[in-house]
Structure 1
Amino acid sequence: MLITAIALVILADLYFVITTLVDLRPLNNITGATPAERRTEVLINGPIMLLPAVLLALAGGLRLPWLAMVGSGIELLVVLGGIALWWLPYLAGVTVPWATAGTGSSWAEMHARTYARTVIVVPRIGDRPRPNLEHMVLHALVLAAAVVGFLAATRL
């Protein structure tokens, strides 16, 4: 189960990096983001998203369940941050403060520029930005990694 958790973390991170840097239109729209925005996103979020795999591997090698819990906890924080970023504006009309950190634009502007013309499967709620399929898949992968990681920690 630990190997599965590690594989899910790595898969989620690879998916994130690929969908941030490679044009897979209409799943994503990397041309709507500046190269600096894409680079910053990968350089900041990529290592954070990979850290749980490192912690899970160390936990398995050292037989330290608490380390696997920490790694899975980080993975859970990543998915909660993603859900807050995408679902709060959609469901409650509230944008988290870090949504556009350092970009000089609002979440609604950034969404319209980079995500509005991607695959979106949820219905409109007024003019609120909607989560796109690309990020729904990412959040599902990260959530699965967190759950499997927690389960693996109980078996170390």
Structure 2
Amino acid sequence: MYALALFLIVAVVAWFLVITLVDIYPLNNVRDAKPSEQRTEVAVNAPVLALPAVLLGIAAATDITALAYAAGALELVFALGGLVVWWMPYLVGVPAPWATSGTGVTWAELHARTYAHTVIVVPRIGERPRPNLEHMILHGLMLAAAVVTFAAV
């Protein structure tokens, strides 16, 4: 079960890198992202997203179950953070304060430029930014990784 959990965590990191760096329009819209935004996103998020894999690997090698629990908890926190960033503006109409920190634009502006022209499967609620499919997949992988990690422990 640890192998499946590790696979899912690595899939999260791999999917994140693909949707951030590789143009697979219309699933993503990397072509309209600024290179500085891409570099910042990868530099900040890739190491953090990889941390649960490291913790789970060490847990499997040493039988320190607390590290496996930490890996699952981190994966769950990442999923919840992603859900807040994407679903709170959509469902409640309030963006997460940290969603665009350091970019100089609002969540609505960033969404309109980068995500609004990608595959979106949820219905409109007024003019609110909607979660796109690429991020729904990412967050689904994160939730699955968290659940499987906890089940493995």
Pair in the same fold by TM > 0.5: yes
2:100 corresponds to? 100
Matched, 1:21 2:18: no
Number of aligned residues:
153
Q: Which runs of 4+ in 1 moved over 4 A?
A: none
| Mapped partners of 2:45, 2:24: distance in 1 | 20
Name the amino acid aligned to 1:47. Answer: P
Offset at 1:66?
1.0
Alpha-carbon distance, 1:59 to partner: 0.5
Normalising by structure 1, report the TM-score.
Answer: 0.97
Structure 1: any 5+ residue segments left out of the alignment? none
- Residue identity over aligned pairs, in percent, reads 57
With normalisation by structure 2, the TM-score equals 0.99
Whichever residue aligns with residue 14 of structure 1, its letter is A
Q: Distance in 1 between matches of 2:32 and 2:109?
A: 11
Deviation at 1:31, TM superposition (A): 1.6
Cα separation, 1, equivalents of 2:150 and 2:49: 16
Superimposed CA distance per residue, residues 56-103 of structure 1 (whole angstroms, 9 cap, x where no aligned partner) = 010011101111000110101100000000000000001111100110
1:19 to partner: Cα distance = 0.8
Q: Match of 2:9?
A: 9
Supply the distance in 2 between the matched residues of 1:58 and 1:71 (Cα, whole angstroms). Answer: 10
Q: Over residues 31-70 of structure 1, what are the superposed CA-to-partner deviations in whole Å (9 max), with x where a residue is unaligned?
A: 2210000110011101111100110010011101111000
Alpha-carbon shift at residue 150 of structure 1 (Å) = 0.7
In the alignment, the residues of structure 2 paired with residue 106 and residue 75 of structure 1 have an alpha-carbon distance, to the nearest angstrom, of 26
The residue type paired with residue 145 of structure 1 is A
Q: What does residue 30 of structure 1 align with?
A: 30
Structure 2: segments with no counterpart, 5+ residues: none
Report Cα offsets for 1:102-138 as digits up to 9, x if no partner.
1000000000000000000000000000000000000
Q: Which residue of 1 is the match for residue 78 of structure 2?
A: 78
RMSD, aligned CA: 0.5
Q: Name the counterpart of 1:120.
A: 120
